[in-house]
Structure 1
Amino acid sequence: MRLNIYIISEYLQSFNPVLQTSKNLKLIIDRSRIIIDKTDFDHRVETLYIMPAEYHSTFMNEFKKYNFIVVGDLPKGVAIEDCIYIAQNVSLSLIADLVNDCFQKFNLWEEQLKQPFMQLNNRYTYPLQSFMKIATNMLKNPIAIFDISSKLLFHEGKLPKNIEGSIWEEILENQAFDIEFLDFDEQKKVYRDFSNAGDRIPSTIQEYGDSEKIAYLILFQDNQPFATIGMADITAPITDEQYSIFYHLKTVLENVNDYYHIFLLQDSFPNYILENLLRGDMGEKSVLEYHLNNLNWKIEDNYQLINITTTKKEPMLQTDIITLTQRLQKYFPTAVFFPYKQTVLAIIKVNEESISANQNFNQFLLNHHLLGIGSTNFNSFLRLNYAYKQTEIVSQLDLTSVKTSPLILVEDIYEKFFVKFLQQIPNYESTIHPMIFRLYKKGDINLENLDILKSYLLNGCNTLLTAKKMHFHRNTLSYRIKKIESRLDLSLNDLDNQQVVWLILSCLIIQN
C-alpha cells in the first residue's frame, strides 16, 4: 500500500510532529530512506526521505516537490517548510523503523480488506459487508456505500444515539443518498474523478446544514462510475489523515471490482443484486428497476435462465469461469451473465434471444464438454431464484435416458422426472393443492383446463407465448385463464414461487 505524509505524520504522534505542507492527499509514498549526505538522495517522488535538521536548508530549497521528515533542532531563523518536522533529537533509524511499521500496518489492513473476496470466489454480498467492517477499523466515523442509483447498500461503524438533523438521519430514513441539496455544478462533480494531480483533495467535502461536513468518493472503472462511498464527521472531525485512508478505500474497491466484478459498470448488471435475488432477497425494487432500465429491460418482461456447467469430473476454476463468460457473450450478446458457485448463469430476455434455436451454442457446449440447462420462462425478474431452482434440481437428476443434446430444457423433461419422483411418495395424491383437488372432483375444472393452467404457469404467465405453444387464439386463452382464476379464487400473476410450483405439480399429478 502507498501512503502519504498525512497518514505517516499521524502515526508518529508520540514525537509531536509538526506538519507543514501544501501537498495533495494522493497516496504516492512507497518507501522511506535515510539521508546522511547528498549521495543518499535518489530523486524519487515515491520515497519519504528522513534527514537530520542541519540538512533542511540544503535539500528543502532545491527539492521542494519531494517528501521529507526533518529530525532535530533547526538552525536559528530557519522556518519549517513542506515537511514533517520532529524537534526531538531522536535516532533517524528509529524514525525509519516506525515509518516501516506504518507501512506494514497499512499493508496488512489492505490484505485484510481483500481477503473476503479472495476466500469467497463468486460471492458478492457477504465479502462486501466484511470489507465495510474491516474498513471502519481505520476510520473514526461510520461509512456508507451506495449503489450507482444512489440507494444505500450497507453502512458500517458505530453511529451516535442522536442522529437527528444529520445526513445519517436522512440516509437511514430514505435508504438513499440524496444529493439534491447540492447545486447543479456540484452535482456534476459527483460523476467525475476528483483525483487530478493538481487537486489537493482527491474528492470533495460538502457542507450539510450549517456545520456537518460530508466526504464522498465516486468509484470508477474505465472512467465510468459504479458506486459511491460516503462519510460524515458525525463522531470525529474528518482530518487529512482520515480523508487519505478514506480515499484508499476507493482505490481498493475499484481494484476489487475490476477483478471480482462486484458492481460492474453503470451500463452492466451488478452481481450483488443477482446474488441477492437467487437467495430470495428482493431488495430495493427501485434499484433493480434502475439497472434493468439501463439494459432496456423491465421487471415484468419474460426471461429464461441457462445454467451452464462442465461435464468433466473436475470443477471449473475461476479462470475457466471468466473465460467461459466472455465466450458466451458471442452467442447471447444481450444476455446478463453471472458466475455463481461453480457455474455460469445466463439470463436472457425471451423475445431478444432463443436458446433452443441457437445451433452454434449447442455445438459450443458440445465442443467444450459443457452442459446447459434452460429454465422455463418466468415473467418477472423477481422470480430469478425460482428459475435457478428448476435448473439446479434438473442438474442433480440422472439425465442419461433423455440427454440427446448438451442443452436440456426443463420444459421438455420436467413431466417425466417429477411425476416419477412424486409417485415414490406414499399417498402422493395428498400433496395436490386442495382447491385444485376439490374443483377436479366436482367436475368444475377438467384435464384441458389443468393443461392450460400448467402451461400458463410454466411459460411465466405470458399469455401470448402460452397461446402460441398451445395453438389457441390469444383472446380465447385470456378468457379461459380468467375463468380458471375465478374458480380458483386466485390471481395467477400474484403467486409466489412456492404456490406456482404447488399448482404445477398438482396439475401433473392429476394428469398422470
Structure 2
Amino acid sequence: MDLYLSIIADELKKRSFNVITTLFEEQPIKGIRFLSLKQTPLNHYLYFATAEQLKNTPESQWPQHLIVPEAPFSDSLPHAKLNILFLDSSESQLELFSHLQDIFADFESWYQKIQQAMINHADITAILNIASEKLDNPIALFDITNSLIHWSGSFSSDIKGSIWENALENGYTMDYFSYGEWKDLSKKMNSSNTPILSHSKGDDSRSILSCPLKNNGKFIGSLGMTSINTPFTPGQIKLVMIVKDLLETAMIHSTNSFHGSDHVPYYVESLLNGLSVDEKIISFYLNRHGWKINDSYCLLNFSFPMENILFDNFIHPYIGRIKDFFPFGICCPFDDSLIVILNITNYDNPVLSLANILEELYDRFQIQCGISSDFYHFLDLKHYFVQAKSALAEGLNQNPHQAFYYYLDYYQSNLFHKLDSITSIKSLCHPRILKIWEEGDTNQLLLLQTLHAFLLNGRNLTLTANTLTIHRNTLLYRLDKISELLKINLKDLEPDTLFYLLMSCMMIEYC
C-alpha cells in the first residue's frame, strides 16, 4: 500500500527514534530508495540520502520526499516545498533502511488483511477491528442516523466525562453537543470529505475527530474518534483517511443496514403519493405490527433545527433518535419530512404520552412536531400527512417555540391560507365587513368582534353576552349599530347570508 511521510514518522517514533519532519503537501509514497545522481528522482518514492549527498546535489534535483539520517542542517535547507524527515540515530544506513522497509512491509500486510476480509464479505465490524490495529486511539462507526454501529480499539485512560462515555451509554453522541455545536458539525460533515477536528468539552488537551463516509457524494455514515490515548498527529489523520476509503468501499457492498434507517415502506410511500394499494396488501403489512386497517391512528410530522442543509444529508441523524422514542411506530422520511405513524391504541393515555415524549424531544434536540387529527382507516394516510405538515407550518409561524402543534388548533388559519393561495381572501369577504376592518375606528372593530361572537353562539343573546362578559343591553345596543353599518337585519337572516357573514368575520384577520 502507499504510505505518507507523516505515517512513517509516527512509526519511527514508536521505535524510539528521534524524528523531526518538515512537511508541505504530502503525496502517497510507494516505497523507499537510495538517492542516486544517475537517476531522476520520482515524486512517489521516498529517497534515503545523507546531508553530504544533498550538499553536493543541486536543489533542483532534490526529490519531493527525503529521509536524512542526521539532525537538521538548517544552513542547507532548500527553499523548495519539500517533505523531509530528519532521523537522528547512531545506527548504520543499512540498519535504518531495513527499519523503513519493515514499516512498509508491516503496513502492506495490514492492508492486505483488510482487502482479504472485504473479498470474503466479512462483516463491516470485523473490517473495522482490523483497521483499528494501526490507530493510536479507539474508533467508532456510526450509521446515517448517528447511531453507534460498532467501536474498536482500547482505552489507556478513563472515558468518564468524554464523548466516549456518552456514545457507549446512549448509543449515539448527539446529547454530548449543544444545539449550536451539533448544527455547526452537521454542516461541516455534509460539505466535507475529510476529517473534522474540534475540541473536547472541558478538556482542551483532547480533540474530537469526525469523518464523514459517503457514497457518490451521499452521506452514508461516519467515523468518530477522540484523542483519549494520544494526540492526533498528521500521520494518524492520514491513516483515518485510508481507513475511510476502505470502509466506504466495504459499506457500499455490505449487507448491513446502513441504508435501512431511511427506507420508506413501499405501501406507505404509495398511499402518501395518492396511489392505489390493495387493502389486503396493507392489512398483511400492518398485521406484522399487530395493527388492523381500521384501528385508530395519528401521524406526526417533524421539523429540524438546521437551516441551509440539503434534506437528504441532514435529516438522517435524527431518525434513530426519534425511533428510540417511538419504537412501535412506523418512522421514515417522506417529501422533505420525517414522519411517524402511530397506532394510538398502543397508548393508555395517548394525549399525555405524546405530550411528554414530544416535550423531551424538543428539550434535547430542538425537534418540533405537527400532529394530525386521529383517523380510523389506514388507507386515508395521505390526508393526515397533509394535516400534520400543515399543523407544523402554521404552528411554527404563529408560535415558534412550542414542542408540538395539533392540527385542530390551526385548522382555521390553515383553511384560510389555503383559500388565499387559490384566490384572494378579500374576494370572499362581505364588502361592508371588509371596509370596516380596513377603515373602521376602534369602536367599529369592536362591533365586528361582537357580531362574530353573536353568530358563533347561534344568535343566542344570553350566550353571547356571557362570552363577551357584557350586559345584555350593551349587546343589544352593539347589534343595532352593526345592523345599521351592514344594512342587514340580524334578526332575520337567510342561511346563505348567515354563513357569508360568519365566514367574513373569521377571514378578515387573514386578509
Q: Specify the TM-score bucket, using the shorter chain as the normaliser.
A: 0.3 to 0.5
Determine which structure has the larger helix proportion and give its number: 2
TM-score by length of 2: 0.47
Computing the radius of gyration from Cα coordinates, the structure with the larger value is 2
TM-score by length of 1: 0.47
